[in-house]
Structure 1
Amino acid sequence: MIKKLLYAVILFCISFMSFGQDLLQSGPMVGYSTMKEALLWVQTTKAAEVHFVYFDKANPKKRFKTEKYTTEKKYGYVARLIADEISPGKKYTYEVYIDGRKVKRDYPMEFQSQTLWQWRTDPPEVNFAVGSCNYVNEPEFDRPGKPYGSEYEIFQSIHSKRPDFMLWLGDNTYLREIDWNSRTGFLHRYTHTRSLPELQPLLASTHHYAIWDDHDYGPNDSDGSYWLKKTASEVFKLFWGNPNYDVIDKGGITGFFQWADLDFFLLDNRYYRTANNNHTVERQMLGKDQIDWLINTLSSSRAPFKFIAIGSQFISSEAMYENNATYQNERNYVIQKIREAKIEGVVFLDGDRHHTVLSKIQENDRVPPIYDLTCSSLTAGAHASKEESNVYKLEETLVGQHNFGMLKVSGPRKERVLTIQIVDKDGKELWTKNIKANDLKYKRR
């Protein structure tokens, strides 16, 4: 009798501990971080009450709680909660509670607050990952033949580098034919991609920011004529953790964030785009409102490096596929305005092309160079394009296999250096380049 009772108690305990785990669909994920708050994200398998408990790793006895939120089917069972009792420059551990039960994971669940360095010290070293084109196979709905996605261990390699944050450069998920005609389809595809097992440790302890490209916006090569673009915007905002969206109030995902002394400008290359086959009007990818915002915001930035994230390759003389050279007038206009405003330290970050390359444009020695890091692909089919017609490419930086970028900004405030390291799926370096902020400035007479 005692043995049966003990056995029943053990079963109850196991059931109790695993209950919350069974309700966890994907995540948790950490989104944006500031000095005073951070976003915590999680997705449940059905309607459930969710909250987070968090504490300073150096003072684990003082615990804080987020608000409680009940997930709903119409919002993909997603909870986005704010940790708003944090202090600058701290490392925090957090716990997830679903229907009152703590969910356990076998890897760290941590986040950090940004450092208050201004007027006190040099800015801290910043390490962040970049990548694009993440295809997670679902054979039932994929095209027949060889699977398009592979080598998901790349996310474990990114996690092993322990970046401060990751900036996803578009095609972060791949909508299929079954997905892009309904909100239900969007929610299914985003949920399926976000639930990849290899991705979970990276989500749990690295802050995440994102832009989109065509495959997480709509059909292949989709543009501003896409009939569900408002749905695309809604679901994107639901599943990602940027601190702001649609800063130009036009419906897309344009945004901005800061990390230490660095500024990041997140552009939308789909929502405002002229229909691909419409040549009856002045063609645009970004649109004047977004460009005006970009130039105005760049002009006010004091960052040594101003990173402009955009889904399509920007600096290339090779007008191919969907890069910005195919919208040459607009691309040239953006560069012209950057030059007229004497904006320094510009580095474009983009993906899409399923290969990696660093490009550099400098029209003459009176202006500083502008760099463009195209970083692709994470798991989608990669190929070894040579970009034969791109006169701006640095030949030695072409990579035609799955890869990601690790970017480090270090050094004293007035002598910051950007180190770009491209890494393969196993975490091995493929190439590295150093760019000094002072080399991206106008020469003072």
Structure 2
Amino acid sequence: MSNITKNNMTRREFHLGAAATVAGATALTTGLMTGGTALAEEAGKPLQRILFGSCCHQNKPQPIWDPILKLEPELFIFLGDNIYGDSRDMGVLKAKYDKQRKNFAPLLKKTPAVAIWDDHDFGENDAGKEYPFRDQSKDLFFDFWDEPKDSPRRRDGDGIYGSWLYGPEEQRVQVILPDLRYMRDSLRTVTSREAYRERDLVGFGPYLPVKEEKTMLGEAQWQWLEEQLKVPAKLRIIGSSLQFLSSQPGWECWSNFPHERKRLIDLIEKHKAEGVIFISGDTHWAELSCQTEGAPYPLWDLTSSGLTETWPNVSPNVYRWNDKSFAGQNFGGIYIDWEQDDPMVVMEVRDNKGTRVLQHSILLSSLSFK
């Protein structure tokens, strides 16, 4: 996929799940299209190098693409805040996408990419379903990412969630991108300015856990997500625009909806969905989190943020691996060595010069019920 013509064809085909180009893939794709799952064109080739990132401001220098391109990723996952749109004027939002298109062009000419949004490309800081232009913003998102007009992701009255499959059956990687914006109910905040100042001293944000009747995904997406966890795959990468494992830092994260966080863990256990790794963005710092208690097997969440944005006041997190974080510009990576009998999965974060700042490796067998 090294030339522009082939890349454009491939991006369309793994949006559409065009299995006719892949020997033996038709049966796998049948029945998955209505759920928004697509099969990558080169299904016979195992996916080994996956890079990802989030929080990229269109008006700021982006030297980080040089080290990313040098690593020759086979897939890049954009985890949201792909622009800083923050407007109710769709003309303004489109102009910011147009500016960012030039910045992303060197990567997208060489590398297949999939994307989800977060609040700033959704349209408004920390917004959910109350944002009045979510449908217009959705159209702009799909147009920017060349989502085909007949794509199952262009569903009416619901979010932009999607899922993709890569590689042969015994080395299959599933990428699942949930939408945490379109159907999200309102957040709960601390009630006084004084309480906010006290929390800010230790890096806590203003948000508190909501009650169980509130939702982040919406029921239609929950049904879709449960179906995705039934799809056969060896490694499942759930790309969340918000941190999944962080322990209630007071900023936006799954812990603001603890019942939905638990629901996803319960679904992983219910369907014996092995090989799950979370990747996430949003925070403006990088870290690796791990939860072992209350989980079917060790759950990992590799956070990479941001491609341009940084935030020095890193929040507490009881799940932070080795208590290490990185507050500079960064991107994340997942590498899979399929040559071993028990494949090794390497999770890492690199800075804007390509220097590795965080790394941890696991065996794929550790993400199982055995």
Which interval holds the TM-score relative to the shorter structure? 0.7 to 0.9
TM superposition shift of 1:329: 1.8
Q: TM-score, normalised by structure 1?
A: 0.66
Shift in CA distance, 280/116, structure 1 to aligned 2, threshold 3 Å:
closer
Q: Distance in 2 between matches of 1:32 and 1:362?
A: 42
Shift in CA distance, 281/263, structure 1 to aligned 2, threshold 3 Å:
closer
Q: Distance in 1 between matches of 2:292 and 2:369?
A: 12
Q: Distance in 1 between matches of 2:365 and 2:9?
A: 29
The one-character-per-residue Cα deviations of 1:341-367 (angstroms, maximum 9, x if unpaired) are 322211111100001111111226x83
The alignment partner of 1:294 has SS state of helix
1:126 to 48, 57, 66: 48
Whether contact under 8 Å (1:350, 1:373) holds in the other structure is yes
The one-character-per-residue Cα deviations of 1:95-119 (angstroms, maximum 9, x if unpaired) are xxxxxxxxxxxxxxxxxx74353xx
Q: Distance in 1 between matches of 2:229 and 2:361?
A: 23
Aligned to 1:168: 78
The alignment partner of 1:371 has SS state of strand
The alignment partner of 1:331 has SS state of helix
Q: For 1:192-207, what aligned pairs fall within 5 Å after superposition?
A: 192-196=99-103, 199-207=104-112
Aligned to 2:205: none
Q: Does 1:287 align with 2:218?
A: yes
Q: Does 1:329 align with 2:329?
A: no
Q: Does 1:416 align with 2:356?
A: no
What letter is aligned with 1:132? S
Aligned to 1:208: 113
- Larger mean CA deviation between 244-253 and 434-443 belongs to 244-253
Q: Distance in 1 between matches of 2:311 and 2:98?
A: 27
Shift in CA distance, 302/135, structure 1 to aligned 2, threshold 3 Å:
same
The alignment partner of 2:358 has SS state of strand
Aligned to 1:9: none
Q: Distance in 1 between matches of 2:313 and 2:9?
A: 34
RMSD of aligned alpha carbons: 3.0
Q: Does 1:370 align with 2:299?
A: yes
Q: Distance in 1 between matches of 2:229 and 2:76?
A: 22
Aligned to 1:297: 228
Q: Does 1:316 align with 2:226?
A: no
The alignment partner of 1:220 has SS state of coil
Aligned to 2:10: 33
Gaps of 5+ in 1: 1-26, 40-80, 89-112, 118-122, 138-148
The alignment partner of 1:167 has SS state of strand
Q: Percent identity?
A: 29
Q: Distance in 2 between matches of 1:234 and 1:247?
A: 8
Q: TM-score, normalised by structure 2?
A: 0.79
Whether contact under 8 Å (2:176, 2:236) holds in the other structure is yes
The one-character-per-residue Cα deviations of 1:190-214 (angstroms, maximum 9, x if unpaired) are 1012123xx4321211111100000
Q: Distance in 1 between matches of 2:275 and 2:340?
A: 14
Shift in CA distance, 124/340, structure 1 to aligned 2, threshold 3 Å:
closer
The alignment partner of 1:215 has SS state of helix
Q: For 1:110-121, what aligned pairs fall within 5 Å after superposition?
A: 114-117=41-44
Shift in CA distance, 439/277, structure 1 to aligned 2, threshold 3 Å:
closer
TM superposition shift of 1:132: 0.2
Q: Distance in 2 between matches of 1:84 and 1:309?
A: 24
Greater strand content: 1
State the structure with bigger RCO (CA 8 A, min sep 6), 1 or 2: 2
Greater helix content: 2
Q: Does 1:256 align with 2:163?
A: yes
Whether contact under 8 Å (2:21, 2:41) holds in the other structure is no
Aligned to 1:51: none
Whether contact under 8 Å (2:47, 2:74) holds in the other structure is no
Shift in CA distance, 183/116, structure 1 to aligned 2, threshold 3 Å:
closer
Q: Does 1:434 align with 2:361?
A: yes
Whether contact under 8 Å (1:304, 1:416) holds in the other structure is no
Q: For 1:17-166, what aligned pairs fall within 5 Å after superposition?
A: 30=7, 33=10, 37=13, 114-117=41-44, 124-137=46-59, 149-150=60-61, 152-166=62-76
Aligned to 2:195: none
What letter is aligned with 2:311? H
Whether contact under 8 Å (2:46, 2:166) holds in the other structure is no
Whether contact under 8 Å (1:348, 1:372) holds in the other structure is yes
What letter is aligned with 1:399? F
Q: Distance in 2 between matches of 1:86 and 1:384?
A: 47
Whether contact under 8 Å (1:31, 1:241) holds in the other structure is no
Whether contact under 8 Å (1:30, 1:208) holds in the other structure is no
Q: Does 1:234 align with 2:160?
A: no
What letter is aligned with 1:376? S
The one-character-per-residue Cα deviations of 1:307-327 (angstroms, maximum 9, x if unpaired) are 111211111112421111111
TM superposition shift of 1:295: 1.8
Shift in CA distance, 29/311, structure 1 to aligned 2, threshold 3 Å:
farther
Shift in CA distance, 32/391, structure 1 to aligned 2, threshold 3 Å:
farther
Length, aligned pairs only: 325
Runs of 4+ more than 6 Å apart: 81-88, 278-281
Shift in CA distance, 247/419, structure 1 to aligned 2, threshold 3 Å:
farther
Whether contact under 8 Å (2:241, 2:280) holds in the other structure is yes
The alignment partner of 2:73 has SS state of coil
Q: Distance in 1 between matches of 2:215 and 2:239?
A: 17
Aligned to 1:109: none
Aligned to 2:278: 348
1:182 to 84, 89, 92: 89
Shift in CA distance, 393/155, structure 1 to aligned 2, threshold 3 Å:
same
The one-character-per-residue Cα deviations of 1:205-224 (angstroms, maximum 9, x if unpaired) are 11111000000001111110
Q: Distance in 2 between matches of 1:337 and 1:83?
A: 29
Q: Distance in 1 between matches of 2:144 and 2:6?
A: 10
TM superposition shift of 1:257: 0.7
What letter is aligned with 1:184? G
